[in-house]
Amino acid sequence: MTPNGAFTLGFILIALGMAVPGPRGEAVLLVLTLAFAAIEVRGASLIALRRAAVVVLPLAAFMGVVWVGIVGESPYQIAAESAGTRAAALAYVATLCGRLFFIVAVIQLVFLRFAKLTPLQIIRALALPATVKRVLVITLSLIGTLRHAIDRAHIALIAAGTLTRSPSLRNIIHSWRLIQAVWLSAITIMVGRMRDKWPVENTIARLDDTLANANPAWFSGDDRIWLPLSLGAAVVILVADRIGGAL
Amino acid sequence: MARRELISGPNFSGRSGALMALLHDRTFAPESFYIGPYSEAALSGLSSTIADEIELYGAMATSFRRVPFSLLDVAAFSAREPQTLSGGEQVLLALHCFSLSGYEALAIDTALEQLDQANRDAALDYLDPRRKLVESVALIDNRLPPPVRGWTCRERSADTIDFACDPRRAVADLPRHQAPAIAIRGLGFAYRQGKEIFHAVDLALAGGAAYRLAGPNGAGKTTLLKLLVGVLAPGAGELKLGGEPYRPWRQGNRAIALATQNPDHQWCGATLRDDLARRRSAFARWVDPGLLADARMEALAAALGIHSLDARLYELPLAARKRLSWLWPLSGALPWVMFDEPSIGQDFDTRAQLAAAIGRLTALGYGVLFVTHDDDFASRIPHHVLVIGERQVKALPSPSGLQPPAASRDPRE
């Protein structure tokens, strides 16, 4: 399977999840997703589920407190000005968070399918214009720069006695100093890179050559099985709950 | 034609500018690979992993091939982020990437000063014109005094010295101090998804003494400093300060003034005044306020070449920022001072003066821990040697355990 095929499949799965199919459609969608996980990602699928849980559970807990605990009715009931129930609020939170869990898990599954490839190798393998690939590389670079700046700012503020490594009240009080230090560090890193390293090496032009030389095929190998299968499943998913007991 | 250009001279004599001018001279090379003093100028910044950094430069080469420079265990590190390497390892990675790339020329601005002696010797050997492995090289290196065989030496001089500094003046009026001992028992540490750096380390550091942390690039010297100031938390073991349990990662650092290898890893404000105000506020309970008074800090900054507390830290030249990074340790505010590669990028005179200032801190009763690969600099400070290797920190066995200061000899002579 190519990264192009996996990303296309991931896009189809997420789009179908967002299309809010009925219970039958959701069952078919789930089977398709589980088949992709079991065949293409295998054991690493558990990592995808764990990461999705880490992202969604805090939000679910917060929404549960707000909608079920405090408001006590679902937004649909509020809009309809009908009598609200906590059960309806719980169903609303579960549906929303379940959908988010599905989306995050699919994104993770797609990336874990290529866990053995480095980010640059994945980007080079994508059948996209060189400009788009360059934007992807530079976006990853910016994320890396910010992470590096956070690390620097932590070192500075912990060594200076302002913050502690472990969670503390001091960290909350001085969090704005951390933010300031992160931005100053990020700017310094970028300026250092753009003033000396990149102009001397003509790095960005060289990067363009590197990305343009890859010339990947759009789809190949298992893509030719997964993509028709997912498109066929999409039709089934979208119509399954509209034709009564046909399925 | 192979060219070797060694640009020498004191700090602020325009060496880096001369290097850049050379790189823009197309007769030197159409395009050059550049390795600057710190990670943002040594690595491309476009790679999320070390494998990507290598692939990026390797893929740039089309038909061009040269003997690879392979001192870094690339296979072991390939999935790590380049920024997680130590400073010396980053330079080794950059040299490896250059050797795979199609660039005809290499420019190095003081970066080789971060390498341990074995790696530095190997790098200089790789660049040796007689080996004919690299076409053209331009180099700034404070520890390579001209003349050097096979190299064209461009000596720079400065009529007026900007940022003139003398670190000895910064510690001239410091009162005596009695630093509490640091005891480390059973220390263990491993980076997440990385190798174990320390295992069951026992170490005793007495106040009023200087210790040099030695070891190869990537051994864990900076990691030990980070553990002591609380930037990292040990996986096992305990620290004691003056006989009392000390957990800086939880309680906050209150005893150690650290000058980091890259000065930009230590600023906590946009101006020197901001930076000092935050340190003053953090250490108010433990530090004599007289030591941190504005007038004294201004005098200290002037001794290090900066004449206003309102100087914008990030707008100063790198060598000036490096000097200013010594201000906090040299202020005497905290009983222990730690310097991570303080001599990098500094000319001979400044290194000698800094060594004298560190020696004076020790004599006054402060505890000093410093990391350096510069033997000449270290030899000017009476110190004990601690060697990091094989997950342990060992005091170097010697009859006295103390390295006497060498006779002050200028290697340029």
Question: What integer pLDDT is reported at residue B407 of this predicted model?
Answer: 46
Are both A203 and A110 inside the same structural domain? Answer: no
- Mean pLDDT across A174-191: 94
Are both A201 and A141 inside the same structural domain? Answer: yes
Q: Which residue in chain A is spatially nearest to B328 when comparing CA positions?
A: A160
Structural domain contains residue A149: yes
Window 168-187 of A: residues touching B by CB (8 A cutoff) are: 168, 170, 177, 180-181, 184-185, 187
Are both A208 and A221 inside the same structural domain? Answer: no
Two tokens, residue B284: 């108010």
pLDDT tens, residue by residue, B191-202: 987 789 999 999
DSSP-based three-state secondary structure for B189: strand
Question: What integer pLDDT is reported at residue A241 of this predicted model?
Answer: 74
Structural domain contains residue A124: no
Are both A190 and A225 inside the same structural domain? Answer: no
Structural domain contains residue A240: yes
Question: What integer pLDDT is reported at residue B140 of this predicted model?
Answer: 97
Say how far apart CA B265 and CA B269 lie, in whole Å: 11
More confident residue, A203 or B60: A203
CATH architecture of B167-395: 3-Layer(aba) Sandwich (3.40)
Window 37-96 of A: residues touching B by CB (8 A cutoff) are: none
Two tokens, residue B364: 């006054």
**Is the pLDDT confidence value at B410 over 70?**
no
DSSP-based three-state secondary structure for B390: coil
Q: Which residue in chain A is spatially nearest to B266 when comparing CA positions?
A: A156
Domain that holds residue A55: 3-117+217-246
Q: Would you call A200 and B231 a contact, using CB atoms and an 8 Å cutoff?
A: no
Are both A112 and A221 inside the same structural domain? Answer: yes
> How far apart, in Å, are the Cα atoms of A83 and each of A87, A88, B117, B145?
12, 10, 78, 86
A118 → closest Cβ in B23, B49, B230: B49
In b/e form, how buried is each residue of B298-332, taking b as 16+ CB within 10 angstroms?
bebbbbbbbeebebebbebebbbbbbbbbbbbbbb
Structural domain contains residue A122: no
- Mean pLDDT across A169-177: 94
Are both A137 and A221 inside the same structural domain? Answer: no
Burial of B72 (0-12, 13-18, 19+ CB in 10 A): buried
**What is the identity of the amino acid at A54?**
V
pTM of the model: 0.88
Which residues in chain B are closer than 8 Å to A158, comparing Cβ atoms? 229-231, 252-253
Q: Please give the interface size between A and B, counted as residue pairs whose CB atoms are below 8 Å apart.
A: 164
Window 192-221 of A: residues touching B by CB (8 A cutoff) are: 192-193, 196-197, 200-203, 206-207, 209-210, 213
- Mean pLDDT across B153-171: 86
Two tokens, residue A148: 């590096």
Q: Is A148 on the interface with B (CB under 8 A)?
A: yes
Which residues in chain B are closer than 8 Å to A147, comparing Cβ atoms? 81, 83
Which residues in chain A are closer than 8 Å to B269, comparing Cβ atoms? 180-181
DSSP string, B106-143: EEEESGGGGS-HHHHHHHHHHH-GGG--SSEEEEE-TT
Beta pairing, strands B152-155 & B256-259 = unpaired
Q: Is A132 on the interface with B (CB under 8 A)?
A: no
Say how far apart CA B151 and CA B353 lie, in whole Å: 29
Least confident residue range of A20-24, A139-143, B54-58: A20-24
Q: Would you call A201 and B81 a contact, using CB atoms and an 8 Å cutoff?
A: no
Say how far apart CA B217 and CA B122 lie, in whole Å: 13
pLDDT tens, residue by residue, B68-124: 998 888 888 888 899 899 999 999 999 999 999 989 999 999 999 999 999 999 999
- Mean pLDDT across B325-354: 96
What is the Cα gyration radius of chain A?
A: 23
DSSP string, A99-148: HHHHHHHHHHHHHHTTTTS-HHHHHHHS-S-HHHHHHHHHHHHHHHHHHH
CATH number for the segment(s) B3-155: 3.40.50.300
- Mean pLDDT across B134-148: 93
A162 → closest Cβ in B46, B260, B278: B278
Question: What integer pLDDT is reported at residue A25 of this predicted model?
Answer: 87
How many angstroms separate the CA of residue B384 from the nearest CA in chain A? 24
CATH 3.40.50.300 residue window(s) in chain B: 3-155, 167-395
**Is the pLDDT confidence value at B163 over 60?**
yes
**Which helix (DSSP H) or strand (DSSP E) does residue A90 occupy?**
helix A86-112
Q: Structurally, how many domains does chain A consist of?
A: 2
DSSP string, B29-47: -SSEEEE-SSHHHHS-S--
More confident residue, B226 or B289: B226
Structural domain contains residue A19: yes
Do B88 and B115 contact (CB within 8 A), yes or no?
yes
> How far apart, in Å, are the Cα atoms of B156 and each of B10, B208, B318, B353, B406?
7, 39, 18, 21, 28
Question: What integer pLDDT is reported at residue A220 of this predicted model?
Answer: 84
Are both A53 and A95 inside the same structural domain? Answer: yes
Two tokens, residue B222: 């900076």
Question: Which of B253, B261, B280, B281 to probe by mutation at the A interface, max A CB count within 10 Å?
Answer: B253
Are both A11 and A94 inside the same structural domain? Answer: yes
Are both A134 and A96 inside the same structural domain? Answer: no
pLDDT tens, residue by residue, B106-120: 999 999 999 999 999
Are both A195 and A167 inside the same structural domain? Answer: yes
pLDDT tens, residue by residue, A147-163: 999 999 999 999 999 99
Are both A202 and A175 inside the same structural domain? Answer: yes
pLDDT tens, residue by residue, B375-386: 999 999 999 999
Do B72 and B31 contact (CB within 8 A), yes or no?
no
Q: What is the pLDDT of chain B when averaged over all its residues?
A: 91
Which residues in chain B are closer than 8 Å to A141, comparing Cβ atoms? 45-47
Say how far apart CA B48 and CA B65 lie, in whole Å: 25
Structural domain contains residue A173: yes
What is the share, in percent, of chain B residues with pLDDT greater than 90? 77
Structural domain contains residue A64: yes
A154 → closest Cβ in B107, B231, B282: B231
Least confident residue range of A22-26, A211-215, A226-230, B402-406: B402-406
Structural domain contains residue A105: yes
User: Which of A85, A32, A41 lies closest to A231 in space, CA to CA?
Assistant: A32
- Beta carbons within 8 Å of A217's beta carbon, 6+ residues apart: A2, A127
Q: Would you call B52 and A157 a contact, using CB atoms and an 8 Å cutoff?
A: no
Residue B141: CB atoms within 10 A of its CB come to 21
